[in-house]
Structures are given as structure tokens and as C-alpha cells.
Amino acid sequence: MMLQYITRRLIASIPVLFGILLVTFALARMIPGDPCYAILGEKATKEVCDRFIRERGLDKPIITQFGIYIKDMARGEFGDSIRFGMPVTRLLIERLPTTVELSFAALLISIIFGIPLGIISAVKHNSWMDVVTMVWANIGVSMPVFWLGLMLAYFFSLILKDTPFWLPPSGRITPGTPDDPFYEVWGWTLPASGMWAAILSFTSRLNILNALLTANWELLKDAIKHLILPALALGTIPMALIARMARSAMLDVLGQDYIRTARAKGLRQSLVIMKHAFRNSLLPLVTVIGLSLGGLLGGAVLTETIFGLSGLGRILYEAITARDYSIVQAFTVVIAVFFVTINLLVDISYAYFDPRIRLN
């Protein structure tokens, strides 16, 4: 039954992915301006621009360009960047780990603090703790990420610079920190090309995972210190959303008859809250967490810019201003595929938490 449910969800994702490819292709070419002048400058001659457009296949009919685009995407080929003059796949391998690491760290902070605050607020409904938590949640949702990032960097990097609580304001690791890739430490040889080369190279650029795989505790400590401020700035809004959703879901469940029955049996309050109430309030929480992760992956541009992180957000912004179609299409598709995958996992988790969904 579960396998059939997963198969149906996978099949339903195919037209969604095709629609994403179509919309991404169309929007990339609707960006105002000429890619030739954006890259070569306004003084580029017509002959130079004609050759520039012809070499990159931008003179072909739109239908033909879309067919080539779909064919390349099916083979996992994203073409070459007009701006950087290198394969987009290489840029993805270099930049995507930063965004992935930052997004998951921000989501982890959101879950660790958001869910307990939401539960406490629901259990202490209409108390001063409930009021304080909800006021904080409203402030967190309303607080601009760029302002919060600057304030965190100012406070922890300047005000606390001579204290043990000092945190670095930018970068992923301190220059000079040993960060040898795990495959070199293990004595493996990185293949010259291919899928395994891309996977190994991508994984080694996830600093925290690479540090754990190599038992490099200096790198682990340094990477975490550099990640705290941007993850906290990026995770504040989803943290507030998760807290509010946890409170709302818990209040709905706590008013059910089976909760009153469990309390009437004399069960401990902690057992009633965690086993009976919290477990049955997970469905809306899973939805918010899944959507938050997708939003974090696609919306980290301001955080990466403020804290000097070279991730997807910064390079995507630069590609849009330069009309670099290959990067815009590839990065947008990668983020969209993350969204679709996360939504698929959320749907599957629904079926796991509530077997009635599988039957429907």
C-alpha cells in the first residue's frame, strides 16, 4: 500500500517538473536586456555581439533552444556559464554546498527552538509565557533578515570581540584552517570526471560533514562558529512560523476528547503532552517544516551577501544581472527540484504519520 502511494506521488511530480522547466526557460529569456552587452559591455560592436549570440546558440528558434534545454537537463548537463566561462555543473558543485549547509543549519535552529516554544505556549495557554512567546513570534516574522544579520554581526563580532562569545562576521572557515577533503584523507583518488567525481567533490565541500568524516575537530569547531550567525539570521522567520504552528496544532489537539480521557486515567502530564498530543499534531508541523526548508534554500541570497558566503543566492543574483541564462536556468531548476523533492517527502511522511491517508 505504501509503495503504491509513493508511486502515485512520483508520477504526479513529473508534470510539475516539466512545468518548472518550461517556466524557468521562458522567464530566463524574458529578463530585460541583451546578454552580449551585459557581459561584454555597452561598447561591444554589432559584429562581436552577433558572433557571441551565434556561438552560444541564442540565435536559434525558441522551440529549438527549449528542445536542446530539455535534452541537456535530462542528461544532467547545464551547459557553460556565459559570465564565468566554465561549466555550470562545476559552479553548482562549488556553490551549492554553502547554501545547503546554511539552510539545514537554519532549519535545525528553527526546529530546536520553535517546537518547544510552541508546545510551552499551548500548554500554558493565556498565561504570561504564552503572551511572551507569541509576541516574540510576531516580531520574528516581521524582522527583516538583512537588518537582523547586520545587528547580529555587529553585536557578536564587535561588541563581544574580547569575550568568549565572539563569533566571526563573515566567511565559512578561518583562512589557514586545514580542510583536506575526506577522500584524500582516506587515500581515495578522485575520478577525473563523472557522477562519482561530482558526488565526492560536492560532499567534501560540506565543511561540517567533511570534518566529521575526517575527525577534523578543528575544522568542525571553526565551521560551526562561522555558521551560527548566518543560520540564526536566516532561521528566525521559520522559527517563529514553526512556533506559531506548533502552538495552534497543539491547542487543537489538547481540546480533543481522548486527551481529556487520558488525563482522567491519571496519566502523567508529560506523557499526555508528548505521546498523545504532540504526536497527533505533527501533520501541520511537517508541512511548515518542509515548506520552510524549501524557502530557506531559495531565499538565502540576502544572508549570503551580508555574511560573505559564496552560495547559490549570490551567484544567482549576479547571473540575473548579467543575463547568464545557463546559470539562471540551472540554479532555478535545482532549487525547484529541491522543492518538489521536499514536498514529496512531506506527502510520504503524511502517509507514515496517518495511515488513513494511504487508504485514500
Residue-wise pLDDT tens digits, 190-229: 877 777 888 888 899 999 999 999 999 999 999 999 999 9
Residue-wise pLDDT tens digits, 11-42: 877 888 788 878 877 776 776 666 666 666 66
Tell me what pLDDT residue 209 has.
92
- The radius of gyration of the chain's CA atoms, rounded to the nearest angstrom, is 24
- Within 10 angstroms of residue 208's Cβ, the number of other Cβ atoms is 15
> What's the gap between Cα 305 and its chain centre?
15
Domains of the chain: 96-178+229-359 (1.10.3720.10), 180-215 (no CATH)
Looking up cell 517546537, which residue turns up? 115
More confident residue, 324 or 226: 226
pTM for this model (two decimals): 0.82
Q: What is the mean pLDDT of residues 300-305?
A: 80
Contacts of residue 6, Cβ cutoff 8 Å, sequence gap at least 6: 348
> How far apart are alpha carbons 286 and 281 in whole angstroms?
9
Cell of 282: 505533527
More confident residue, 282 or 298: 282
Residue-wise pLDDT tens digits, 60-115: 777 887 887 777 777 767 777 777 777 888 888 888 888 889 989 999 999 999 89
Angle at 83 between CA 294 and CA 205, to 5 degrees: 50
Tell me what pLDDT residue 32 has.
67
Q: CA 68 → CA 47, 71, 90, 172, distances in Å? A: 25, 5, 20, 37
Q: CA 38 → CA 82, 91, 197, distances in Å? A: 10, 20, 33
CB 197 within 8 A of CB 183: no
Written as one letter, the residue type at 195 is M
CB 338 within 8 A of CB 96: no
Is residue 280 predicted with pLDDT exceeding 70?
Answer: yes
